[in-house]
Amino acid sequence: MSNTGMNMRGKIIFYEEKNFQGRSYECMNDCSDMSSYLNRCHSCRVESGCFMVYDRPNYMGNQYFMRRGEYADYMSMMGMSGGIRSCRMIPMHRGNYRMKIYERENFGGQMHELMDDCDNIMDRYRMNDCQSCHVMDGHWLMYEQPQYRGRMMYLKPGEYRSFSQIGMRGTRFMSMRRIMDSCY
């Protein structure tokens, strides 16, 4: 079935209070600072698409992947005491996934190319750290612990010379997976 001509857009609705109460803000694309729309955000409903949400403005701080569903008290459950401050829509990707991961900053040290998920870089590659990468194809989630656990970071195609320079100082990434959710 062809998707030609279909408008594939995500839609997320943020609410000031838990359980979808209080003022709301509907978003269908990236929003770098939600403070001009809501005083705070403690619940949300993803109607379509996939989003990354952040607990600081400008896509900084702790981030979480959200697929279609209702999150009545997701923020306190995930330790986002200040709630959501910014969000980014993840575009649908069809095709190959390819990323090179590097042991050190500026593409130094060991290098390995991934085309699929990796639940533990130590077990698979004998790498005990990943400090830079180059995403050639697809959208990925990096996790600080093996088995896709702990803090996460969203990566779209591009070069990432230093994770510490993009607000992830002191975070070691030990597993990574492709964002393949068909949330539309």
Please give the CATH topology (third level) of the domain spanning 98-178.
Answer: Gamma-B Crystallin; domain 1 (2.60.20)
The rounded distance, in Å, linking the Cα atoms of 153 and 173 is: 9
Domain locations in the chain?
Answer: 11-90, 98-178
Six-digit token pair at 151?
């803090």
- For domain 11-90, say whether CATH 3.40.50.720 is its number: no
| pLDDT in the model for residue 5 | 35
Q: How far from 102 is each of 11, 105, 111, 161, CA to CA, in Å?
A: 35, 7, 5, 9
The rounded distance, in Å, linking the Cα atoms of 14 and 36 is: 13
Q: How does pLDDT run along the chain (184 residues), one tens digit per residue?
A: 333 334 467 899 999 999 999 999 999 999 999 998 998 888 899 999 999 999 889 998 888 999 999 998 865 556 666 678 999 999 888 899 999 999 999 999 999 999 999 999 999 999 988 999 999 999 999 999 999 998 899 999 999 999 877 766 667 899 999 998 755 4
Q: Count CA atoms closer than 13 A to 166's CA, side-chain side.
A: 16
Tell me, yes or no, if the two domains 11-90 and 98-178 fold the same way.
Answer: yes
pTM, two decimal places: 0.85
Six-digit token pair at 47?
């109607």
The conformation of residue 152, written as its DSSP 8-state character, comes to: E
- What type of residue sits at position 138? G
Q: Distance between the two ends of the chain, CA-based, in angstroms? A: 14
